[in-house]
Amino acid sequence: MFEVAVIEDAAAAEVSLDPVRARLLAELAVAGSATMLAAKVGLPRQKVNYHLRALERHGLVELVEERRKGNMTERVMRATAASYVISPAALAAVQPDPSRSPDRLSARWLLAVAARLVRDVGVLITGAAAARRRVATFALDGEVRFASAADRAAFAEELAGAVAALVGKYHDETAEGGRDHRVIVAVHPTVHRAPDIGPANVPSVDTDGSPDPDITTEGKES
């Protein structure tokens, strides 16, 4: 079982978003049979089997073993991953394109860049799995607390300069056999999440109080 799997197919994404099937995927982090799952989710075994077959067709669950019980064969299933991410490739016609309106101060542009990251890394993972190889990646994740908006802006400028200097130092356009790599650096307010997130328990978000550059407010004359 993988820790994270990327869903790239639109039909598989649709299957995974069904509430009942999503619950079954969560339960199948530990292998189980339709009979075991039926007791947990409160559905008839036949109905659970119907949903499991749909999940199996799209590679979201897999057969672990078959057990003989009297004149019946019990199939023990397991999710193929502990968690799933739906790639923008599943919505190919409307997936974000960061090149349309690049703006390093736009939260929506950051989201488009992040969506492209999910799509591209998903493609790399799929290809690497088929070739039985690992993907060469590197990531940093941390937090920094700024005393003021001015400090945050100064940090962003210094960070941009440092990254540009590193790129200039190591980028070699003429290297034979070299391979291009994408570099993404992002800074955004931390989202403070409560232990259990539900419809009535929305995460609180820190903002700097400035207008959203992606939102245009039009005034009306009286």
Over residues 109-160, the pLDDT tens digits come to 999 999 999 999 989 988 888 888 888 899 999 999 999 999 999 999 999 9
Closest CA to 86 of 17, 172, 24: 17
Could you tell me which CATH number the domain at 2-85 has?
Answer: 1.10.10.10
pLDDT the model gives residue 68 = 83
pLDDT the model gives residue 213 = 55
Comparing 71 with 205, which gets the higher pLDDT? 71
Domain ranges in the chain?
A: 2-85, 94-205
Length of the chain: 222
Structure tokens at 150: 């001015």
Cβ atoms 16, 95 nearer than 8 A: no
For 85, list phi and psi in degrees, rounded to 5. -125, 130
Q: Assess whether pLDDT exceeds 80 at residue 79.
A: yes
Closest CA to 119 of 2, 13, 7, 11: 7
Structure tokens at 75: 């199939």
For 99, list phi and psi in degrees, rounded to 5. -75, -15
Distance set, CA 167 to CA 8, 72, 82, 121, 183 (Å): 31, 62, 35, 21, 9
The kind and range of the H/E element at 6 are strand 2-7
Phi-psi category of 209—alpha, beta or left, where left has phi over 0 and alpha has psi -120 to 50?
left
Q: Which long-range contacts (CB under 8 A, 24 or more apart) does 208-211 make?
A: 208/149, 208/152, 210/149
Q: Decide the pairing of beta strands 61-69 and 2-7.
A: unpaired
Q: Confirm whether pTM is higher than 0.85.
A: no
Mean pLDDT of 193-212: 57
